[in-house]
Amino acid sequence: MIFIPEKCFRLTYMKKTINFIITGAMCLGISAPISINASELQKKPAKVENLGKPAKIKKQKQRSIKKVSPIRVESPVGTVPRLPWQVWVTYSDGSHEWRQAKWENYMRATEQAEADPQRNPVGSEYTIEGYIIGDNTTNKGYPLVATVVVTNNKWNTPNCHPVANPLKLTEVSINGKNRLTNNRNLNIKTLLSWDITQQLYNYRDTYGLPTDGYTVADGWDSPTTKLKGHGSGHYMSSLAFAFASCNPNEETAEKTELRKRIKRMVDELRACQERTFVWDSTLNRYREARDYAPDEVLMKMGGSWADFDRYKKDYRNYGYGYLNAIPAAHPALIEKYAPYNNEQGVWAPYYTIHKQLAGLIDIANNIDDKEIAAKALLIAKDMGLWVWNRMHYRTYVKADGDKAQRQAKPGNRYEMWNMYIAGEVGGMAESLARLSEMVDSKDEKEKLLEAANCFDTPALFNPLAANIDDIRTRHANQHIPMITGALRSFIGNCNPYYYNIAYNFWNMMQGKYVYAMGSVGNGEMFRQPYSQILSMNTNVMSDSKRDMYPNPDINETCCAYNLAKLTKDLNCFNPDNAEYMDYYERVLYNQIIGSLHPEHWAVTYQYAVGMNAIKPYGNNTPQSTCCGGTGAENHVKYQEAAYFVNDNTMWVGLYMPTTARWEAKGVTIEQECEWPAQHSMLTIRTNGKATADFTLKLRVPYWATKGFDIKLNGKSIAKSYLPCSYAAISNHIWKDGDRVEVCMPFTKHVNWGPDKMDLAATGKNEVRTPFSPQWVGTIMYGPMVMATKDIKEWKNADITLSSTLNELTLKDDGATDGTNDKLYTLQMQTPDNRTITFTPDYYQTDHSTHYLRIDMQTGAKKLVAKGVDKTLLEQALAIAKERMDNQKAWEAMSVKVPAFAPWAPNGYARLCQQVKAAEAINALDKKNLTQAKVDEVVSALNVAINTMRPGNLAEPEDLNKLLSLLTSAKNIQNKTTELREAIDYADMVVQYVNDGSGTHDLIEKAINKFGAVKK
Ligand SMILES: [Zn+2]
């Protein structure tokens, strides 16, 4: 999601601005283009200080990779093999660890060839090269080979009935005084401070009810936006989760207040919805979704504000059950492919419908008042059936033909859901599939499930089902919830296609897209696979004087929220696979908890990652932005995936101080520990029964490579434990008071970036300083991403570490006394006796460095490659040429459908320039080339590829006119209120364009505002 309307920027964007001003950094203004010229490329690599090189690394402290188990996978014909993103490594000193792998088959063309049955028929066998990243055995890492056997079998898909489900939110309470309870309490307090009438204003406005006494909504729900309803949906989910997180055995004032608000939302929404129950005597039935805006009417409908003012008066025709904070014209306009445009089009109508359905479903599942729960479900069901009716009667799928042919008739879902932002439908499929599980009538179940799969996006789903990465360059958060929806629908339709989509997508995320703290994307978009470090280091922005600085805002917090949800849902189908809860722990303990300011209520939109990063806090209400919305839910549901259960087994997924009431089994598990926990004591309570019989499975985290132990009533249950697995106490007869003790000393390790760093924006006007290629990584301590404030420039970010990380010592064990600022602290001495201190990123707010250039000493012999290797050059050229072909095909069209080119012009021009340079080098004979020369041109080409933007998005160059207006406006001495508002709005637009998600209509609107002030 992008774009902030004028009313909310003080809450959100200004907060960020203030942060930057206070800290002396450089936020306002525009980002200049990243232009590449030959002279810059000839710059000598930057001189780097080697901070951590110990005088001598003792030989016995080194360990090198000795052995990796052979990798052999069976792959169904027509698919890309599923290769592991982490491999179990044996070191020379006998120790073990999971290490990250990178595979060389990630090019789109390579993947398509692998999935081609002609090339790889049943019975054939081939190999794929890969590397363990972060290792210096070769320039690319420690070499791996996977053998692939092509078979006629399908992938093993689990049964569509989940193996386990998480304990309900109401069954788990977080205890004690710690960061978790601090955040939860702050979330509830803040939630209760929000004005409920603001959440109801748009509904009354949309259904012809008086709005006297109701506060006008703000943020992305304000009257001048077309995303109204998204915030109210998140507000309802937040109320429901907060209610569930309160002690079930005690009626507190907070709980009473929460229930009161939930009841009011439900009652008023139903009153609005009932206004669509209009009997039509001609049809001899109620007016339905399919009757709204027949095709001939639809084709004449506009998307201007004046049009929408008219549509609002038409609520009697919305169709039975329509419930939304915007008129039914919004979802209808999508059917004629109305683009995302706040002035003349739509935003993302089904995205808002999803948030509201989710809010109502969350209320139905968590409130203790049966009447309210039933009413919430009824509203959601009636709206769900409206969606079914509209989809069933008015839409279809046509995937063949060209775009113009596919858009010839309204209602082609293949095109509707493939549109940028306008086709963003959030988790429509997930909510509809959940509703289908919740209703009783067979007919309604079937309709709701059919509606869920009407939100399939075959353009993305079909490649994903064959494990082909088609998410590269797509909008990240537009697509993650679609995957969650596909998985949820699998429970109802039992079609392995949907499970495979989710499974393949999740695994792609792990190796190819996640940062150390768990989220993905850059400026809301996925870039190329395995390019996180390049993405991070090429982001720049500048002040109004066009001085440029690095811009460390990277990944959207909504993506973290949605990836956590997808992980939780996948875990239900295979709860023994500890990779899921290992990842859940990573994203929750770092990015999600770290997205809330440690001292007051403010959450992040883009999370800052990299060098000297400042978290851009703001987004203070659920309606402010999308991340304000998910931010309102995040901190009242930390416990949602802590425990999974089925008839006979409990899986402990997360170690946090909690009471788990397993109601179906009649037992309670008291988990006593600090947070984060190195030691946890679980006490089983049988609640009056003599014994209870069940299997208890406890996660052995991937990082628990030393000293891990589980004791049952004081006795170890095993001699050794495999990290990233579950240890089971099987079919045990538990007595009241039985105790299970988990010891899991945090270990130091490195989470590596997948691509070596060979350039970086380094400071004022140093847009791309070349560096000698080096692995970069994040220091981890147990589950925690450790950040430092002691390094503020890449030029000072080189450290040498022995492979056992002995240089890093524990300064403070972080044992909490209930306050928030007692933190685990690591430190290391530099050769010149400076100290670098690392503390957990979840507590950081500003000037944090997450990634360092790390030369890890293993004592192993380096394998020197013979001759010049041009593989990377050829790969980069292939990507570039594919983009050029797409652009040329669009340019050759006589009628431009879509209206925008695949790629925006300035980035495209840079690409063409670099392709020329790269082709010249590629044409040279290897013996006339050095590896350094090849690497240099690859690096420049990769920058050009990675800084391109899709054609519908604005580029920094498009800001020139706005920027000069902004500069002169800021120089005016006595500013009127209108002028100040125009300046604030322009600053916001500049920020969005800088971050890589602003559109042309935003810029136009900002310019018009200055025009209006002049008049
Ligand atoms: Zn967001």
pLDDT tens, position by position, 890-914: 999 888 777 889 999 999 999 999 9
Q: Determine the Cα angle at 699 with ends 695 and 703, to 5°.
A: 160
Residue type, 828: M
Q: What is the pLDDT of residue 37?
A: 37
Burial of 860 (0-12, 13-18, 19+ CB in 10 A): middle
Give residue 625 CA to ligand 1 midpoint distance, Å: 7
CA 278, CA 764: separation in Å to the nearest integer? Answer: 63
pLDDT value of position 19: 30
CB 334 within 8 A of CB 357: no
**Alpha-carbon gap, residue 991 to 289, rounded angstroms:** 39
Q: Is 34's pLDDT higher than 80?
A: no
Q: What is the mean pLDDT of residues 647-651?
A: 97
Taking the centre of ligand 1 as the mean of its atom positions, its distance from the CA of residue 606, in whole angstroms, is 8
> How many whole angstroms from 577 Cα to the centroid of ligand 1?
29
Residue 518 pLDDT > 90: yes
CA of 558 to the centre of ligand 1 (A): 4
Output the CA 619–ligand 1 centroid distance in Å: 10
Cis peptide before 898 (omega within 30 of 0): yes
Q: Which residues are CB-neighbours of 611 under 8 A, at least 6 positions away? A: 550, 552, 760, 791, 792, 793, 794, 797, 849, 851
The owner of tokens 């929806």 is: 485
How does residue 50 score in pLDDT terms, banded at 50, 70 and 90?
low
Summarised one tens digit per residue, pLDDT across range 587-599 is 999 999 999 999 9
Compute the distance from residue 425 Cα to the ligand 1 centre, in Å.
14
Question: How many whole angstroms from 627 Cα to the centroid of ligand 1?
Answer: 4
CA of 898 to the centre of ligand 1 (A): 26
Which of 24-56 are b and which e, b meaning 16 or more Cβ less than 10 Å from the residue's Cβ?
ebbbbbbbbbbebeeeebeeeebebbebbbbee
Ligand 1 geometric centre to CA of 710 (Å): 40
Phi and psi (nearest 5°) for 640? -65, -20
Sorted by sequence, the CB contacts under 8 Å of residue 372 that are 6+ apart come out as: 259, 262, 263, 266, 363
Cα(801) to ligand 1 centroid in Å equals 37
Predicted local distance difference test score (pLDDT) of residue 343: 80
Q: Name 125's bridge partners.
A: 149
Say if residue 46's pLDDT is above 80. Answer: no
Give me ligand 1 centre to Cα 397, in Å: 29
- Tell me the residue length of the chain: 1015
How many angstroms is it from 561 CA to the middle of ligand 1? 9
Q: Could you read off the pLDDT of 429-438 as tens digits, one per residue? A: 999 999 999 9
The pLDDT-based confidence of 817 (bands split at 50, 70, 90) is low
Listed residue (1008, 947, 144, 157) closest to 498, CA to CA: 157
394 Cα–ligand 1 center, Å: 30
Ligand 1 centroid to 556 CA: how many Å? 5
Is pLDDT above 70 for 9?
no
- The C-alpha atoms of residue 292 and residue 91 are separated, in whole angstroms, by 67
Report the alpha-carbon distance of residue 279 to residue 289 in Å, rounded: 13
Determine the distance separating the centroid of ligand 1 and the alpha carbon of 604, expressed in angstroms: 9
Does an H or E element contain 131, and which? strand 125-132
- Give me 649's structure tokens: 């087994």
- Measure 995 CA to ligand 1 centroid, in angstroms: 13
For residue 826, pLDDT beyond 70: yes
DSSP string, 403-459: HHHHTSSTTBHHHHTTSTTTT--TTHHHHHHHHHHH---HHHHHHHHHHHHTT--HH
Rounded distance from Cα 1 to ligand 1 centre (Å): 6
Please report which helix (H) or strand (E) contains residue 383, including its range: helix 370-394
Looking at residues 406-412, what average pLDDT do you find? 95
Question: From the CA of 885, how far away is ligand 1's center (Å)?
Answer: 32
889: tokens are 């095909």
CA angle 327, 333, 334 (to 5 degrees): 115
**CA contacts within 13 A on the Cβ side of 946:** 25
Residue 490 to residue 468: CA distance in whole angstroms? 20
**Distance between Cα 375 and ligand 1 center (Å):** 29
Distance 194 CA to ligand 1 centre (A): 20
Whether the pLDDT of residue 668 is over 80: the answer is yes
Mean pLDDT, residues 820-827: 88
pLDDT of residue 17: 30
Q: What is the mean pLDDT of the chain?
A: 91
pLDDT, mean of residues 985-991? 87
| Axis crossing angle, helix 230-245 with helix 626-634, rounded to the nearest 10 | 10
- The predicted model scores a pTM of 0.93
Cα distance between residue 889 and residue 88, in whole Å: 46
> What are the tens digits of pLDDT across the range 443-497?
999 999 999 999 999 999 999 999 999 999 898 999 999 999 999 999 999 999 9
Better-predicted residue by pLDDT, 290 or 998: 290
The answer on pLDDT for 996 being more than 80 is: no
Q: Output the pLDDT for position 136.
A: 95
Predicted pLDDT of residue 899: 80
Is beta strand 71-76 parallel, antiparallel or unpaired with respect to 142-151?
parallel
Give the distance (Å) from ligand 1 centre to CA of residue 13: 14
Query: Distance, CA 359 to ligand 1 centroid (Å)?
Result: 17
163-200: pLDDT as tens digits:
999 999 999 999 999 999 999 999 999 999 999 999 99
For residue 201, how far is its CA from the centre of ligand 1 (angstroms)?
Answer: 23
In this prediction, residue 432 carries a pLDDT of: 98
From the CA of 517, how far away is ligand 1's center (Å)? Answer: 16
Task: Tell me: pLDDT of 36 over 80.
Answer: no
- Chain segment 998-1012, per-residue pLDDT in tens: 888 889 989 999 998
Residues with CB under 5 A from ligand 1 (ion): 556, 558, 626-627
CA 231 – ligand 1 centroid, Å: 12
Ligand 1: distance of its center to the CA of 579 in Å?
25
Contacts of 813 (CB under 8 A, 6+ apart): 824
Ligand 1 center–CA 626 separation, angstroms: 4
What percent of the chain is modeled with pLDDT above 90? Answer: 77
* Ligand 1 centroid – CA 616 distance (Å): 13
What confidence tier does 832 reach under pLDDT thresholds 50, 70, 90? confident
Query: How far away, in angstroms, is 998 Cα from ligand 1 center?
Result: 14
What pLDDT does 32 receive? Answer: 32
Query: For residue 555, how far is its CA from the centre of ligand 1 (angstroms)?
Result: 9
Cα–Cα distance, 652 to 672 (Å, whole number): 13
Distance 358 CA to ligand 1 centre (A): 16
The reply to whether omega before 622 is within 30° of 0 (cis) is no
pLDDT higher than 70, residue 156 = yes
**Residues whose CB falls within 8 Å of the CB of residue 406, separated by 6 or more in sequence, listed in order:** 398, 399, 400, 412, 414, 415
Q: Is 124 helix (H, G, I), strand (E, B) or coil?
A: coil
| ∠ CA 708-711-716, rounded to 5° | 80
Q: Among 74-88, 578-592, 913-927, 979-993, which stretch is predicted with the lowest mean pLDDT?
A: 979-993
- Is residue 542 pLDDT above 70, yes or no? no
Percentage of the residues of the chain whose pLDDT score is greater than 70: 93
E strand spans, 445-552:
540-542, 548-550
Ligand 1 centroid distance, CA of 812 (Å): 35
CA–centroid distance, residue 410 to ligand 1 (Å): 30
